[in-house]
Amino acid sequence: MGRKYFGTDGIRGRVGDDRINPELVLKLGWAAGRVLGNGNGGKVLIGKDTRISGYLFESALEAGLVAAGMDIRLLGPMPTPGIAYLTRTLRAVTGIVISASHNPYYDNGIKFFSSDGCKLQDEVEEAIEAEMERPLKTVPSAELGKAERVEDAAGRYIEFCKSTVHSSMRLNGLKLVVDCANGATYHIAPHVFEELGAEVVVIGNEPDGLNINDEVGSTHPKALQRAVLEHGADAGVAFDGDGDRLIMVDHEGSIVDGDGVLYVIARSRLERSQGLRGKVVGTQMTNLGLEMALRELGLELERTKVGDRYIMEVLKLNDWILGGEPSGHVICLDRTTTGDGIVAALQVLEAMVVGNSSLHDLTRDMPRLPQTLVNVDLGKGDPARVMSAPVVKEAVADAEAVLGDKGRVLLRPSGTEPLIRVMVEGTEAPRVTELANAIADAVKSVLQA
């Protein structure tokens, strides 16, 4: 069955468009309640990030779910991985996240977690879509659901995050800058690091509904770099709007992306004999330098399609525990059930404390091949038509011929935004940038035509 609404990470779009509007979200809540409740009702958690449209869609979801006979527990602003954790520990039928992650405030989205804190299987999402095509019928009044707020949601999740490192681990003596992207971690992440003993400087912690991800957070790390240098911090951590990804900065102001985070955690697990099973999982975007550095440690890298759901599929299929993306989705399945920015940051900070090392020292042995990513706005264009156009295929072939076996080209549509992503990796930065721009120009020429 074709998927009409769900993408690679739930449903997402511009608020008010045909993919994310109050009428659709109300129907989505009802359909999800019907499928996941299986006619027996049950408890559903709803959490959100800080964008202004969260109020709108929270109410629409609540109405649809109640009409299907489901009871609601409202979490308020809560990081996506926190909702996954609470779904599992509060024994809910499902957890629903209202968020567009790293996107601007005028976008929003809906994604689901199953009762075990993992993202829904494709066939469940397809069943929800099928139910959405049916007329909405409210259960009898005596069977309608009720809604109440979970008052201690933030505290529960803060304690969970702290539990993912050794009970004796302290961050005393470390000064950290924490950038909350004016998003869902604003009232949680600073407390986690402070309660473990760190001196914390917080930025991006004043959400107003419109400033989420606005020149702050993991997609805009310059704010974090400036703050780390200004305050003489030992390290910095930036989250995205919903807190499931992170970017770090060392004391010199250098960025440590998801690949660097993954390397530090993998090496730390090996050095401390913490049972790093099997391969480390990355994606087609993972820098070749990480693959080379892991090989030096005796580890293999397995690549998947871009998207944390594909990383998760490979990890679970093989009973492996560690994977991630350069964008900062890092999954530690020996700690939690989904990508978690705060949990991943704690694993890196623990490696710094145990090894008495700086973040700069811990990432020094991982080379980075120059990599250029160019995003081309697709508008309403058809990505398959654009990527199969002769001029685009020719530009890709020319770049691959230049790079030979010392580089890679990746051309793909975004799974969450109307973009074509062009990535080129090689040994010479100027040439890599030149080739990426040439392919992007070919894509633009097709769209303009």
Task: Report, as residue numbers or ranges, the catalytic residues.
Answer: 101
Residue matched to tokens 């991800």: 213
What's the DSSP call for residue 287?
-
User: How far is Cα 293 from Cα 274, in angstroms, rounded to an integer?
Assistant: 19
Query: Residue 71: which of 151, 146, 149 has the closest Cα?
Result: 146
The DSSP element (H or E) to which 368 belongs, if any, is none
At 232, is the secondary structure helix, strand, or coil?
coil
How many other β-carbons are positioned within 10 Å of the β-carbon of residue 215?
Answer: 12
From the DSSP assignment, how many helices (H) and strands (E) are in the chain? 15, 18
Task: Name, in order, each residue with C-beta under 8 angstroms of 396's C-beta and a sequence gap of 6 or more.
Answer: 409, 411, 439
Beta strand pairing call for 419-425 and 408-413: antiparallel
Query: Residue 129: which of 9, 35, 12 has the closest Cα?
Result: 35
- Distance from chain centroid for Cα 322: 15
CA atoms within 13 A on the CB side of 390: 0
User: How far is Cα 56 from Cα 359, in angstroms, rounded to an integer?
Assistant: 41
What's the DSSP call for residue 299?
-
User: How far is Cα 264 from Cα 253, in angstroms, rounded to an integer?
Assistant: 17
Residue matched to tokens 């986690």: 192
* Angle, in degrees to the nearest 10, between helices 54-67 and 22-37: 40
